[in-house]
Amino acid sequence: MVPPKTHASEETSSAGTMQRDRPNGKRHRSDNNCHQCHRNDKGRIVRCTKCGRRNYCISCITKWYTSLEETDLIEACPGCRHICNCVRCLQSDAAYKDLPVPGLKLWTKDMIHLSKYIVRVLLPSLKELVVEQNMEREEEARIQGLSIRELQLPKVNFNHNDELQCNNCKTLIFDIHRSCMNCSYKLCVSCCSEARDASSQGNGSSGAASRCLGNVNLPSGWELMEKGKIACLPGDMGVCGNGNLELNSIYPGHWLSELLMKADAIAKVSSSDAFEDSEGAQSCLRSARGNGTENETLCRAVSQKENIDDYSHFQWHLSNGEPVNVPDVLSRTLGLSWEPMVMWRACRKSRQTDHSRILDLSVLNCLNWCEERINIHQFFRGYVDGLSDREGKVKILALQGWPPAETFQERLPRHFVEFMRCLPFRHYTDPQARELNMGAKIPNLSHKPDLGPKMCINYGVNQELGFDSVTNLQYALSDRVSVLMHTTASSVHVSQNIGEQGFDDTVGGALWDIFRRQDVPKLEDYLRKHCWEFRCIFSLQQMVHPIHEKAFYLTVEHKRKLKEEYGIEPRTFLQRQGDAVVIPAGCPYQIRYLKSCTNVVVNFMSPEGVCECLRLSKEYRCLPHNHKFKEDKLQVKQITLHAISQAVQYWDTIIVKTSRSVLKLPPIPSSEHKPAFEFMEEQLEIMKSGLQKEGHTLPANLRAELEERIQNLHKRIVSGPGSSSSQ
C-alpha cells in the first residue's frame, strides 16, 4: 500500500522549526528561524545586518531584550553584542573566552610600590607566626639539650596539593607541627603550647584556650612525658597511644626566620612610603545620601576610572575597617540579563553538556530556618510571583552560596564574565588577581580556599515580619564584595505594615547593617544579655558565640535598645541594583531583603585585612569540635606566608636588575665554558669596580644590598674548592 503524499507544511515540526528531509535523517534549522526560540511562526523576523546570519522574532525581542529597539537589533543583534540569553549561548563554555575583561595595567614602578606595601603591612602578622614557631623550636631544643641554632628538624614529605590538619583543633598546619611516628596523629604548635599550659595547671583543659572562647578542650588522659615531651593520645581515641609526638617542619631549616629578616629590612627601607590619609577619604565618610539620615554614610566618592588615587582612597577605608559602596558598577557590563527566567535556563543546564541537569535546589526556608528541596522552575517563579504553603502562609526562601560544588565559571560561563567586568578595584577583588588579593597568592599546585564567586538569591518583602528574608548577623571572615545584579518587587501581599523607618524601599533592594570592629565587644554583650528575646534562640542547642552562631537578626527595636544601652549603632544603608558593597574583614553585618534580590558575592583577602583574618581564625579554632561553623576555610597563615614570600622575591629580583643597570654592569654571561669559581671571581671583580666608581649614585639601601651580595660571593669563593686562596 502506497503511503499518501505529505505536503510541505507537514514536513516541518509542529513548532515550524525543523525540517526532516536530510539524507542522514538529522534535523536542520531554517535560515528564517528565530535564533532565540528556533521558530518562525511567532511574528515578523528581524535579521542582523552585522553578522548576517542571526534572526530574532519580534516576540522574543519584546520579551527578552527590553532595552533594545528594533533598529538597534538590525544594527547589531544580541549575539553580536554578547548578551544573547538563548539556551545555547548561555550554556556555551567557549563563548566567554573571546570576551576580554578590562583591567588596570600595572607598570614596574607600581609593582615595586605594591611589593613594598605588602611587605610592610604583612610584617606584623609574619612576626607573630615566627614567634609562635620559635617558641616550639626553643622547647624542642631544651628537650634535646641543644641550642636553637644547633637544632635540625626533620622535613616531612609534603605534597602541596594535600592538607595537613591538626587532629585536635582541626586547623590547617602550614609549617612546624608535631606528629606521631607510629600513626598519623598531628598536633599544631598552638595545641602543643596549650597542652603544656594545661599540664602545668594540673587539668585537662587549656588555659590559653579558655581565654579565647572557653571551648577548646584537650582530650582527657593526655599527659606530658619526661623533659616535656608530648605523648600520643590513648589508644582508645583511634590512634596508637604509645608513640611520641616529634617536631617536624614542612619548609627547610630556618627559612621562615630568614624570610622575616629580609622582610624587616624591606619594611625599614619603605617606611617613607607609608600611606597617608587623603582628604578625599576623610570627606566621603559623612557623605549623606537620599534621606539624609546620619548613619547612611557610605563612601561613594570613587570614580569609575579607578586610577591610582582611587586605590589609595580605597586602601584608607580597608585599613580603617570602613565599608565601601561603589554605585552603578553594572554600567561596565555588556548588559547580559539576570532576569529570573534567564537564570533558570542558565542554572538548570542541558542534557547535552558535561554538567548534570539540575531539577531541584536545596534552599533555606526563612520561617523555620530549615533546608528544603524545591523545583528549580518553581523557585524562580516564586522569585517574582511569590510562594505560599498549603495553609496560605507566605514562604520566604533563600538560595545561598550557589553553585555549591562547581565553580561559578564552569556552571555559568557567560554570567561569570559579566560579573568580572563589573567588579570594582579588581587588583583587590578579582579571584585571579595576584597583585593585592592575598588569597590568589597560593601556588596553583596547592589546595586553594574556595573564595567564590557564589550566587545568593533571596525572596524579599518590604515589611518586617519577624521571619523576613534576611542574612543573619555574622562576620565577614575575609574581605568581601557583594554586587546586587538584579532586584524585583515580589507580588506577595502582606497585611502587616511594620518596616524600617526613613528608607525609600521603592529604589533599594537590600537593607544593610554593618558594625565597626571596635564595637564588637559591646555587640556581643548585648546579644548575650538579650538572647532570649530572639525567636532563633529556641533552635540553638548551645550558644557558644553570638556572632559565630549566625542565628541573630537585630530588628529596629533591638537596634534602638543597642544604642540606648551601649551607645553603638551600625552603618545602615540601602543597596540598589548595580551597587557593589565591600565589607572589610572582621566587621559584623546583617542584611534584610526588601525585594527579591540576586547578589553575586566574592571573598578576597587584602593586605589590610590579614591581621583581622588571623584574629578570626583563632576564634574559629576555639569553637567546639561539633560546631557546624568550625572550619579553617581561609588558610590565613598559608596565605600570609606565600604573599610575603612572593613580595620579597620580587623585591630581590628588582634589586639585582637595578644594581646592574645603575652600576653599568654587563649582562651575566653564560658560564658553560668556564669553571664555576673562575666565573664567580670575574663577577666579583666587576661588582667591586662598579661599586667603587658608581656606588655614590645608589640609594643607601641599594648600596647596602650590593655590598652584602659582594661579601657573600667573596665568602663562597674563599671557602670553595679551586679558588686561589685554597691552593
- What whole-number percentage of the chain has pLDDT above 90? 8
Alpha helices in 544-592 (DSSP H): 556-566
Verify cis geometry, omega within 30 degrees of 0, for the bond prior to 403. yes
Residue 403: band (very low, low, confident or very high) from pLDDT cuts 50, 70, 90: confident
Say what angle helices 676-694 and 700-719 make with each other, to 10 degrees: 150
| 126 touches 261 (CB < 8 A) | no
pLDDT higher than threshold 60 for residue 57: yes
d(CA 28, CA 38): 11
CA 422 to chain centre: 16
State residue 602's pLDDT score.
92
For residue range 292-335, list pLDDT tens digits in order.
333 344 444 344 455 555 677 788 888 888 888 888 888 888 88
Mean pLDDT value of segment 133-143? 86
CA distances from 313 to 303, 306, 478, 578 (A): 11, 10, 20, 21
| 677 touches 723 (CB < 8 A) | yes
Residues facing 513 on adjacent strands: 572, 590
Residue 468: band (very low, low, confident or very high) from pLDDT cuts 50, 70, 90: low
Contacts of 623 (CB under 8 A, 6+ apart): 213, 215, 544, 545, 548, 629, 630
Mean pLDDT value of segment 463-470? 63
CA 6 to chain centre: 61
State residue 336's pLDDT score.
87
d(CA 281, CA 117): 19
Element (H, E) at 388: strand 387-388
DSSP string over 78-89 = TTTTT---SHHH
Best CA proximity match to 182, nearest among 226, 227, 246, 230: 246
Amino acid at 558: H
Contacts of 423 (CB under 8 A, 6+ apart): 329, 429, 430, 481, 483, 580, 602
Residues facing 402 on adjacent strands: 455
| 607 touches 643 (CB < 8 A) | yes
pTM above 0.85, yes or no: no
d(CA 81, CA 519): 48
And the C-alpha cell for 623?
A: 569553637
Give the angle subtended at the CA of 473 by the CAs of 468 and 479, to the nearest 5°: 125
State residue 514's pLDDT score.
94
- What whole-number percentage of the chain has pLDDT above 70? 64
For residue range 483-538, list pLDDT tens digits in order.
999 998 765 544 443 445 555 556 678 899 999 999 999 999 998 888 777 765 54
Range among 5-14, 277-286, 539-548 with highest mean pLDDT value = 539-548
Amino acid at 363: V
CA 214 to chain centre: 29
Which of 176-185, 257-266, 502-511, 635-644 shows the lowest mean pLDDT across its residues? 502-511
DSSP string over 575-599 = EPTT-EEEE-TT--EEEEESSEEEE
d(CA 17, CA 221): 75
